[in-house]
Structure 1
Amino acid sequence: MAEIHRKPHAIMISVPYQGHINPFLNLALKIASNGFSITFVHFEFVHHRLSKAHHCNKTHVDIFSQARESGLEIRYTTISDGFPLEYDRNANFEEYWGWILREFPARVDEFVGKIIQSDPYLVHFLVADTVFSWPATIAEKYNLVNVSLWTQPALVFTLGYHLDLLRENGHFPCKDNIDEEVNYVPGIKSISTRDLISVVKESEQGQYSMVESVHMGFDQVKKADFILHNTVYELEAETLSALNKYQPNYAIGPVNFFKNLPSYTVSKSLWSESDCTQWLESKPPSSVLYVSFGSFVLTSRQVIEEIAYGLLLSEVNFIWVVREGILSSGDTNIMPDGYEDEVKDKGLIIPWCNQIRVLSNPAIGGFLTHNGWNSTIESMWCGVPMICYPFLYDQPTNRKLVVDDWKCGISLCDGTISVDRKEVAEKIKSFMSGAASKSLRQEANKVKTILHHALEVDGSSQGYFDRFIKDLKEKIHSTITSIE
């Protein structure tokens, strides 16, 4: 049989949210650096938003241009989700995800078909977000090797993977006000129902499209050839070992910190980095609490006010990144009137910052976070302990890992979203300078060491990535051979 020399080409499509896009971006660069060709696909509205964002120094187009200049084969393109650019996808979340669930797959089918027809001398394979409801169907139609990227911890993945077990035991949908132990899921010793992912909760069943999408996504991922996890084996060994009994799973994280990739600058803030750094450098080591609840958090003005005045009462120095759209009302005037004047030199309120640079600053002593997985990973990477205040999706489960399993954080409140400013103040004081603060920092540094070593040449994540590349090449080769 003649030797096959067709070059492997990845078609990569991420869910259009920043917590998913960033890992996909870094994975694209990592795969390309291993000799593969890449087509990185953005939703059109994401491309438009990133291109016009006034704080961006380099768009993803610029990043991939720089990568090509360094010798990597990366193409960049966009796909329409079927809505006009000005359509408010967040405000119409249920309608939007209903469309993505039922109508968008046909667009992806046509899109992938055209890519394959445009360059038949490449051997194409698919790298898609686990959350999507279509990857296995499209991979089967076009005979593509199917790689699924899960951007959250393996604990969250295995809960979704075993939705059938949750349903059999009366925990899908799960009543919101019960506290029961779930101890029947393979790879999980025990988890409280209060820490389950929000899509299985009874109160979330109104978001029918998202719940159905997650359900279909996990049905589809059971047909994937490879599953990549943005986590570290040592942190979730039991869960990952159990998953490997079903399919090939590779813990390759933290993906956003892959080594030996082309360097690029992601963003600059309206509030200059120099101003932010100067303010931090005026504060003693470990004296500043960094506060950020991500870019897609829905909560009430009352909660924001209680946290805001709790920070003031604590008398702790803080930086708070306040982004538009954080309130469920859609109101962009987020902070209490006159609050910034009251803060004075105790706090710095900014619209954006380079989170890694801030968390790496010696003045930072803790992170008050919603426990989005990207933020959680970044905090652990920098050895910064967390005060956890999860809202929805994977965040309650991430909190469980941080507080109960890895012991590098505490909860702001127990099992509720409501907060009281006096309790917030006391919790922050204790966290920053109380008796438990030293232990938290020690545990945070242990986790930091695990994450950093995982990406070294002899680390577990680098080893799993190398194994994935080897297995992927063998699978692609066997696929081509079977066709020819």
Structure 2
Amino acid sequence: MAPEQVNRCHLIAMPYPGRGHINPMMNFCKLLSSKMSNVLVSFVVTEEWLGFLSTSDDILPENIRFTTIPNVIPSEIGRGKDFPGFIEATITKMRDPFERLLDQIELDPDLPPPSVILYDFHLIWPVDVGNIRNIPVACFFPMSAMVLTVLCHFDLLVKNGHFPADVSEGGNEVIDYIPGLPSMRLSDLPTFFHGNGREVIGRVLEGVTYAKKSQYLLLATIDELESDAIAAVKSRLPIPAIYSIGPVIPYFNPSVTKHDDDDGYLQWLTSHPKSSVLYISQGSFLSASTAQMDEIIAGIRDSGVPFLWVARGEGDKIRKGCGDKGLVVPWCDQLRVLCHDSVGGFWSHCGWNSTKEGMFAGVPFLTYPIFWDQMTNSKMITTGWGIGWQVVKKLGMGSDQLLVRREDVADLVRRFMDLESQEGKETRRKAEELRLLCGRAVSEGGSVQVSIDDFVRNVKI
């Protein structure tokens, strides 16, 4: 080992292979690299994902490098095609190539030995790998602490007869016994407790079991935002060190990369009055049914509200259906858009990363959850924190019987974007309060900075 490597920390980052998992883990690694001059981060992705990530203009710090494992997950079970099969493959097929990669790293005289393995909660197997090799392990939980406390208290759902859960009649049973969680409906729980999600609940709960064996737990949230849920998690998980590491969004690097405005969306936004544009993004994984999308497109058009819509697969359809009132792009710098003065609302699927970015920007939400943790996030956005309105009032969006009709979409969007309505003013006031809370937490001396600094001191030891 070269002398200069003796005190060098080598972090091995192993994210779950999905954009909503890779992005926050990478953002956290960038934060660490800015705080630890002696850290080397080996960020492990599949060869396929390296291809996706290497096309970005995002420049990595010198002390972060991509390293790869083969594409061991069959293409025919891509996440949208066979979600349970995809999860099973990430757990059963990725460990062996990861261990071979660790062998190469440990034998390379030019690299410091691994100091800590940072892994995504859903993978589970890195815990055993680290413990067998005597490498400390840090579990990265990419969703809200509220979702984690539901998983930690799964036994209470069973005890109260709410698992297996049946939401065919609306899922309106009240769940008011999970520590750290406000009262909510059964259908507001993550979808791995009902419907097709039950196929993967066993694997998801294994994440809790394995997390207990890790040395650190990193929560992608803010203490002041989810204090009750965080306390409930800490009471159930005997992990030596649990840290709330903040929104792990690129708030620390607001500069625009070269291709950011290839579609002219920033100029287009600047041409509109303050808080007049509705930003629409339904995420990159699942979307509403075809029939529901037709109603949403027509409703947005009929509302007359200017919109910026990010859509990958249905861009042409949206452009034809919505006319010239808005702009449709395949990609944008979402946080930069949400922070733009002309954006007055965010139609969102309520993924946790988008939820955090919307809160950080202080923008109110129209929530349209579809899957996984999005239901719980939507509940908190609308009735927990009071910073948004629901598009769908009942469970079952996308079914023929429960379509949200275009006239209802149009009316909702017009009322939501009315800056003079009392309801809208109150929602915006609360959104501004959360923006300030997030800003204080990530500032120097804030709770997020204190947590990350403490983690840094630990991993340096």
- The TM-score with structure 2 as length reference comes to 0.89
CA deviation string 1:20-41 (max 9, x = no partner):
1111112112222323221111
Matched residues in 2 for 1:224 and 1:424: separation?
Answer: 46
Secondary structure, in 3 states, of the residue corresponding to 1:234?
A: coil
Q: Which residue of 2 aligns with 1:402?
A: 381
Q: Which residue of 2 aligns with 1:22?
A: 23
Match of 1:295 among 264, 284, 294: 284
Match of 2:298 among 309, 314, 334: 309
Instruction: Indicate if the aligned counterparts of 1:81 and 1:100 stay in contact, CA closer than 8 A.
Output: no
Instruction: Indicate if the aligned counterparts of 2:105 and 2:113 stay in contact, CA closer than 8 A.
Output: no
Q: Which residue of 1 aligns with 2:400?
A: none
Which stretch of the first structure deviates more once superposed, 158-167 or 118-127?
A: 118-127
Q: Which residue of 1 aligns with 2:57?
A: 57
The residue type paired with residue 101 of structure 1 is: I
Match of 2:335 among 356, 361, 365: 356
Matched residues in 2 for 1:231 and 1:336: separation?
Answer: 34
* Pairing 1:57-456 to 2, within 5 Å after superposition: 57-58=57-58, 63-64=59-60, 67-68=61-62, 73-83=63-73, 88=78, 90-118=80-108, 122-176=113-167, 177=169, 178-205=171-198, 208=199, 210-245=200-235, 246=237, 247=239, 248-257=241-250, 259=252, 268=259, 272=262, 275-324=264-313, 335=317, 338-340=320-322, 343-344=323-324, 346-416=325-395, 417=397, 418-433=403-418, 434-456=421-443
Which stretch of the first structure deviates more once superposed, 161-170 or 457-466?
A: 161-170
Secondary structure, in 3 states, of the residue corresponding to 1:458?
A: coil
Instruction: Indicate if the aligned counterparts of 1:132 and 1:213 stay in contact, CA closer than 8 A.
Output: no
Instruction: Indicate if the aligned counterparts of 2:40 and 2:64 stay in contact, CA closer than 8 A.
Output: yes
Matched residues in 1 for 2:307 and 2:214: separation?
Answer: 44
Matched residues in 1 for 2:57 and 2:76: separation?
Answer: 23
Instruction: Indicate if the aligned counterparts of 2:115 and 2:459 stay in contact, CA closer than 8 A.
Output: no
Matched residues in 1 for 2:242 and 2:251: separation?
Answer: 18
Quick one: percent identity of the two aligned structures? 31
Which stretch of the first structure deviates more once superposed, 365-374 or 113-122?
A: 113-122
Which stretch of the first structure deviates more once superposed, 400-409 or 388-397?
A: 400-409
The residue type paired with residue 111 of structure 1 is: L
Cα distance change of structure 1 residues 44 and 84 upon mapping to structure 2, 3 Å threshold:
farther
Matched residues in 2 for 1:165 and 1:104: separation?
Answer: 32
The residue type paired with residue 192 of structure 2 is: V
Deviation at 1:96, TM superposition (A): 2.8
Instruction: Indicate if the aligned counterparts of 2:367 and 2:389 stay in contact, CA closer than 8 A.
Output: yes
Deviation at 1:338, TM superposition (A): 3.4
CA deviation string 1:83-119 (max 9, x = no partner):
4679845324333322222232233233333323335
Secondary structure, in 3 states, of the residue corresponding to 1:255?
A: coil
Instruction: Indicate if the aligned counterparts of 1:267 and 1:354 stay in contact, CA closer than 8 A.
Output: no
Q: Which residue of 2 aligns with 1:329?
A: none
Matched residues in 2 for 1:267 and 1:378: separation?
Answer: 21
Q: Which residue of 2 aligns with 1:11?
A: 12
Instruction: Indicate if the aligned counterparts of 1:173 and 1:202 stay in contact, CA closer than 8 A.
Output: no
Instruction: Indicate if the aligned counterparts of 2:182 and 2:384 stay in contact, CA closer than 8 A.
Output: no
- The TM-score with structure 1 as length reference comes to 0.85
CA deviation string 1:55-77 (max 9, x = no partner):
x334xxxx23xx11xxxx33321
- The alignment of Structure 1 onto Structure 2 pairs a total of residues equal to 441
CA deviation string 1:344-395 (max 9, x = no partner):
2x11122221112221221111011100111111111111100000000110
Secondary structure, in 3 states, of the residue corresponding to 2:317?
A: coil
The residue type paired with residue 228 of structure 2 is: E
Secondary structure, in 3 states, of the residue corresponding to 2:249?
A: helix
Matched residues in 1 for 2:349 and 2:53: separation?
Answer: 23
Matched residues in 1 for 2:140 and 2:18: separation?
Answer: 14
Cα distance change of structure 1 residues 199 and 86 upon mapping to structure 2, 3 Å threshold:
closer
Structure 1 alignment gaps of length 5 or more = 325-331, 478-484
CA deviation string 1:93-150 (max 9, x = no partner):
3333222222322332333333233358535211000111212211211111110111
Secondary structure, in 3 states, of the residue corresponding to 1:410?
A: strand
Cα distance change of structure 1 residues 211 and 370 upon mapping to structure 2, 3 Å threshold:
same
* Pairing 1:461-472 to 2, within 5 Å after superposition: 461-472=448-459
The residue type paired with residue 30 of structure 2 is: L
Cα distance change of structure 1 residues 410 and 470 upon mapping to structure 2, 3 Å threshold:
same
Cα distance change of structure 1 residues 74 and 204 upon mapping to structure 2, 3 Å threshold:
closer
Q: Which residue of 2 aligns with 1:327?
A: none
Cα distance change of structure 1 residues 45 and 243 upon mapping to structure 2, 3 Å threshold:
same
CA deviation string 1:230-271 (max 9, x = no partner):
111101011112222333321111111464x7x8766735x7
Which stretch of the first structure deviates more once superposed, 400-409 or 82-91?
A: 82-91
Q: Given the alignment of the two structures, is residue 42 of structure 1 paired with residue 45 of structure 2, yes or no?
A: yes
Instruction: Indicate if the aligned counterparts of 1:371 and 1:388 stay in contact, CA closer than 8 A.
Output: yes
Deviation at 1:411, TM superposition (A): 0.6
Instruction: Indicate if the aligned counterparts of 2:12 and 2:114 stay in contact, CA closer than 8 A.
Output: no
The residue type paired with residue 362 of structure 1 is: D
Instruction: Indicate if the aligned counterparts of 2:6 and 2:112 stay in contact, CA closer than 8 A.
Output: no
Matched residues in 1 for 2:434 and 2:455: separation?
Answer: 24
Matched residues in 2 for 1:198 and 1:351: separation?
Answer: 28
Q: Which residue of 1 aligns with 2:33?
A: 32
Deviation at 1:173, TM superposition (A): 2.6
Cα distance change of structure 1 residues 289 and 383 upon mapping to structure 2, 3 Å threshold:
same
Matched residues in 1 for 2:75 and 2:374: separation?
Answer: 29
